Structure 1
Amino acid sequence: MNINSLTTAEEKLMTVLWKLNSFYMKNVMEEHPEPKPHQNTVSTYLKILVEKGYLTTEKEGRIFKYSVVIPYEDYRSFVLRNFLKQFCNNSTEELIGLLEDEKMLQPQVVKSKVKPVSTPEKKKKKQRFKIADEILKSAKKKKKKKK
């Protein structure tokens, strides 16, 4: 699925639309926080969001019913990946460092959330120990049988 970037205004409107999921213009106007934009403004943004692929329309008589196409989780992932690429050289370590520098993340939280990465070397060592354990077990069994 190809996701296009949103302007700040489009993103603010989409936060309302993601909550509604399927809606009519009147629902948007009711749910939009104050200060409410003019209905023509919302209508223009809805048209743009349809063109960008965020919404679909279904005509019901003289009005349109809109439905969200791109889920919030997909958009959030898209924004995070773009941020990582643009501001952190595609490095999660740099992102975590930035969050710590900005006092947005405590080091102890990172330690509790990050799981150690299993490298191929560690896997080989585990396999070696597993093989060694099997050899030792079979040797112990042979000694017991001989007694």
Structure 2
Amino acid sequence: MNINSLTTAEEKLMTVLWKLDSFYMKNVMEDHPEPKPHQNTVSTYLKILVEKGFLSTSREGRIFKYKVVIPYEDYRRFLLRNFLTQFCNNSPEELLNLLQKEKILQPQSVKPIEKADVKPKKEKKKQRFKIAEEILKTGKKKKKKKK
């Protein structure tokens, strides 16, 4: 799925739309926090969001029913990957360092994450060697049987 970037205003509107999931224009106007934008403004943004692929429409008489196509979690992953690529050289470690420098993340809260990441990697390497050893042992046994 190809996801496009949203402007700040589009993101603010999408936060309302993600909660609604399937809606009419009147639902958007009711659920939008104060200060509420003009209905024409919301209508324009809905058209843009349809063009960008975030919403789909179905016509019910004279009005449109909208449905969210790109879930919030997918957009969040898209933003994180873009941020990693543009500002952290595609390095999660650099992101962690940045979060620590900005005092958003405390160093002690990173330690459990590092430990959790290291253990599975070591176990996977051991398992690979066990499989290789079994294959090599099996090959040696076959050669001994042939002699």
TM category (shorter chain) comes to 0.7 to 0.9
Does the alignment pair 1:123 with 2:122? no
Identity across aligned pairs (percent)? 75
SS of structure 2 residue aligned to 1:116: helix
Q: Superposition RMSD on alpha carbons, in Å? A: 2.2
Structure-1 separation of matches of 2:109 and 2:28: 38
Change (3 A) 1:53 1:86: same
**1:127 Cα offset (Å):** 3.5
Partner of residue 4, structure 1 = 4
Partner of residue 58, structure 1 = 58
Q: Structure 2 stretches of 5 or more lacking a match?
A: 135-147
Structure-1 separation of matches of 2:117 and 2:82: 25
Change (3 A) 1:125 1:62: closer
SS of structure 1 residue aligned to 2:67: strand
Structure-2 separation of matches of 1:105 and 1:55: 34
The structure with the larger Rg is: 1
The two structures have a TM-score, normalised by structure 1, of 0.81
Structure-2 separation of matches of 1:11 and 1:99: 23
SS of structure 2 residue aligned to 1:65: strand
State the aligned residue count: 130
Structure-2 separation of matches of 1:94 and 1:73: 23
Name whichever of 119-128 and 59-68 sits farther off: 119-128
**1:123 Cα offset (Å):** 2.2
**1:68 Cα offset (Å):** 0.1
SS of structure 2 residue aligned to 1:56: strand
Q: Structure 1 stretches of 5 or more lacking a match?
A: 132-147
